[in-house]
Amino acid sequence: MKPKLKLIFAVALAVGIATLTFAATPPAEVQLKPETVLVSNSLVTVTYEDLLAELERLPQENHLEILLNPKRFGATLENLMINKTMATEARKSGLQNQARAMAEIRNSTERVLAKYRREELLANAPKVDLVPLARELFLTRLKDLERPAQYTSWHTLIKMADRTAEAAMERAKLVKAKIDAGGQLDAVARQYSDDASVEINGGMIDATPLSKLDTNFGSALEKLKVNESTIVKTDYGIHVVRLIKMVPRMRPAFDEVKPAMLEEAELAYKQRIEQEYLTTIRGDKTLEYHKAEIDAVRPKLPNLPEIPPPAQAK
| Residue 213 shares a structural domain with residue 268 | no
Query: What's the domain range around 264?
Result: 131-142+252-282
Q: What is the pLDDT of residues 185-208, one digit of tens each?
A: 999 999 999 999 999 999 999 999
Distance CA 274, CA 254 (A): 27
Instruction: Determine, yes or no, domain membership for 74.
Output: yes
Distance CA 179, CA 160 (A): 21
Mean pLDDT of the chain: 89
Name the strands in the sheet holding 150-158, side by side, starting at the edge strand that comes first in the sequence.
204-208, 150-158, 237-247, 229-234
Q: What is the pLDDT of residues 198-250, one digit of tens each?
A: 999 999 999 999 999 999 999 999 999 999 999 999 999 999 999 999 999 99
Instruction: Determine, yes or no, domain membership for 125.
Output: no
| Residue 14 shares a structural domain with residue 40 | yes
| Residue 226 shares a structural domain with residue 278 | no
Helices (H), the chain: 6-21, 48-56, 60-68, 70-92, 99-123, 131-145, 165-180, 185-192, 198-201, 215-222, 254-282, 291-297
- Residue 55 CA: distances (Å) to CA of 48, 121, 282: 11, 22, 31
Instruction: Determine, yes or no, domain membership for 306.
Output: no
Distance CA 263, CA 304 (A): 55
Q: What is the pLDDT of residues 31-60, one digit of tens each?
A: 789 999 999 999 999 999 999 999 998 888
In CATH, what number is assigned to the domain containing residue 167? 3.10.50.40
| Residue 162 shares a structural domain with residue 135 | no
Residue type, 109: T
Instruction: Determine, yes or no, domain membership for 112.
Output: no
Distance CA 118, CA 26 (A): 37
Which residues, including other chains, have CB under 8 Å from residue 54's CB and lie 6 or more apart? Answer: 76, 80
Total number of domains constituting the chain: 3
Q: What is the pLDDT of residues 88-139, one digit of tens each?
A: 999 999 999 999 999 999 999 999 999 999 999 999 999 999 999 999 999 9
